[in-house]
Amino acid sequence: MNIESFTPPRRTLMGPGPSDISPAVLQAQSRPIVGHLDPLFIKMMDEIKLLLQYAFQTENPHTFAVSAPGSAGMETCFVNLVEPGDKVVVCINGVFGQRMLENVERCGGEAVVVEDEWGQAVSVDKVAAALEQHSDAKFVAFVHAETSTGVASDAQALCALAKRHGCLTIVDSVTSLGGIPLKVDEWGIDAIYSGSQKCLSCVPGISPVSFSPAAVEKLKARKSKVQSWFLDQTLVMGYWSGEQKRSYHHTAPVTALYALHESLLQLYKEGLENAWARHAAMHQELKAGLDKLGLTLTVDEAIRLPQLNLIAIPEGLDDAAVRKQLLEDYNLEIGAGLGKFAGKAWRIGLMGYAARKENIALCLAALAKVIQQ
Ligand code: PLP
């Protein structure tokens, strides 16, 4: 074997995630390791909880980070809350709504699917109709920011609707947290998960999660054991919570949590509103440059995500060849389209640390060179 140390190139990440990471967050991850039950580490975990409560805008005591990626956060919400036979209204308008449906089915839940076109938001009217028809539904599950299409759904309206029908809500905020307004307590969200690698600009592999008191009550009232040992929140609570004596549950990803602490601290110092405004402003700057290049955004302005831009590929351009050249000549990663947008659109992410003027200037200049040659 002739294997050398892996030394990756310095890429600029403007795809659907992972996003660019600030030098401060990368440095945090290389600090000395301590034991995961070291009192200083536990103090840092408590600070992560406080910072996550700020990021989610919640006072939920059960707010913590799953030691695994966003999909595990998703699974945490479903396996803990949905019991066999529970009816769940699942909204699908892209890849990740579909993944929610997989979760419901694997939990033995009864899914009521509300489908919208890829590129459209979840229709509040359709969900209302589904809830009228299924008065025994217990949950409404939807994706706030659909990364596969760059579409934002009206989380506030959907949660208010679910509440009126006595349903708990399960919300995917993997791409929305830190990038667009999201207010867990004010909007009445019951179970929410996110990812570290998008607008938080942290290393991938961690999933912030928060459960409302009503969600914790539903969990505690379960008739059957949670089928996943690792994700069972009745066990994890003892590890992340100060109420019980901190006890070993699993070995935390110590250095990844240093990075999460640092990235959340940066978000706190910037201020959530300022971070939301920065993403909106950088989206406008990108759009102005794309206009000049004759490139158009596919998603309607009212439901566009500033942090994930779906761009129509002009006729005659080879999708994969353009992305390959951007990567090889400019060390710039942009994303491919998915589903009905495969080969027809690119996805340009402006997430967290990547939502900066330097990135936009590089992206526009590189795109101009590559598509106009
Ligand atoms: N939900 C959304 C909206 C996502 O964009 C992603 C990942 O891109 C996930 C869930 C899954 O997250 P992960 O890839 O970290 O497991």
**pLDDT tens profile 95-153:** 999 999 999 999 999 999 999 999 999 999 999 999 999 999 999 999 999 999 999 99
What top-level class would CATH report for the domain 12-18+272-371? Answer: alpha beta
Q: Whose CA is closest to atom 5 on ligand 1?
A: 147
CB of residue 231 inside a 6 A radius of ligand 1 = no
CB of residue 147 inside a 6 A radius of ligand 1 = yes
CB of residue 143 inside a 6 A radius of ligand 1 = yes
pLDDT in tens, 168-188: 999 999 999 999 999 999 999
Average pLDDT of the segment spanning 219-229:
96
pLDDT for position 213:
97
What top-level class would CATH report for the domain 23-268? Answer: alpha beta
pLDDT for position 241:
76
**Percentage with pLDDT > 90 across the chain:** 95
Give the C-alpha distances (Å, rounded to integers) separating 162 from 6, 216, 263, 342, 347: 49, 17, 32, 33, 31
Pocket test for ligand 1, best of 147, 177, 196 (most atoms within 8 A of CB): 147
pLDDT for position 73:
98
Give 17 Cα–ligand 1 centroid separation in angstroms: 9
Single-letter code of the amino acid located at 339: G
Query: What angle (nearest 5°) sits at the alpha carbon of residue 154, between those of residues 123 and 145?
Result: 100
190-207 as b/e, with b when 16 or more CB fall inside 10 Å? bbbbbbbbbbbbbbbbbb
pLDDT in tens, 199-210: 999 999 999 999
Q: Which of 76, 63, 335, 57 is nearest to 180 (CA)?
A: 57
Question: Model confidence at 240, in pLDDT bands (50, 70, 90)?
Answer: confident
Q: Which of 152, 157, 150 is nearest to 338 (CA)?
A: 150
Give 39 Cα–ligand 1 centroid separation in angstroms: 32
* 372 against 51, higher pLDDT: 51
Per-domain boundaries in the chain: 12-18+272-371, 23-268
pLDDT in tens, 288-326: 999 999 999 999 999 999 999 999 999 999 999 999 999
Average pLDDT of the segment spanning 210-221:
97
DSSP letter assigned to residue 167: -
Give 243 Cα–ligand 1 centroid separation in angstroms: 31
Beginning with the edge strand found earlier in the chain, give each strand of the sheet holding 207-211 in spatial order. 62-66, 207-211, 191-193, 168-172, 139-143, 87-92, 110-115
Q: What is the CA radius of gyration of the chain?
A: 21
Question: Model confidence at 1, in pLDDT bands (50, 70, 90)?
Answer: very high
Asked whether residue 244 carries a pLDDT value surpassing 60, the answer given is no
CB 213 within 8 A of CB 59: no
Asked whether residue 167 carries a pLDDT value surpassing 90, the answer given is yes
Give 198 Cα–ligand 1 centroid separation in angstroms: 9
CB of residue 70 inside a 6 A radius of ligand 1 = yes
pLDDT for position 372:
87
CB of residue 179 inside a 6 A radius of ligand 1 = no
Asked whether residue 243 carries a pLDDT value surpassing 90, the answer given is no
CB of residue 174 inside a 6 A radius of ligand 1 = yes
Beginning with the edge strand found earlier in the chain, give each strand of the sheet holding 332-336 in spatial order. 12-14, 332-336, 345-349, 308-312
CB of residue 17 inside a 6 A radius of ligand 1 = yes
Give 222 Cα–ligand 1 centroid separation in angstroms: 27
Question: Model confidence at 237, in pLDDT bands (50, 70, 90)?
Answer: confident
Bridge-partner residues for 309, per DSSP?
Answer: 348
Question: Model confidence at 239, in pLDDT bands (50, 70, 90)?
Answer: confident
Chain-centroid distance, C-alpha 337? 18
Single-letter code of the amino acid located at 124: V
pLDDT for position 23:
96
CB 179 within 8 A of CB 55: no
Give 146 Cα–ligand 1 centroid separation in angstroms: 9
Give 221 Cα–ligand 1 centroid separation in angstroms: 29
pLDDT for position 242:
59
pLDDT for position 119:
97
N-to-C CA span, the chain = 42
pLDDT in tens, 70-88: 999 999 999 999 999 999 9
Average pLDDT of the segment spanning 347-360:
98
Q: Is the pTM of this model over 0.85?
A: yes
pLDDT in tens, 8-25: 999 999 999 999 999 999
DSSP letter assigned to residue 10: -
Average pLDDT of the segment spanning 263-276:
98
Question: Model confidence at 238, in pLDDT bands (50, 70, 90)?
Answer: confident
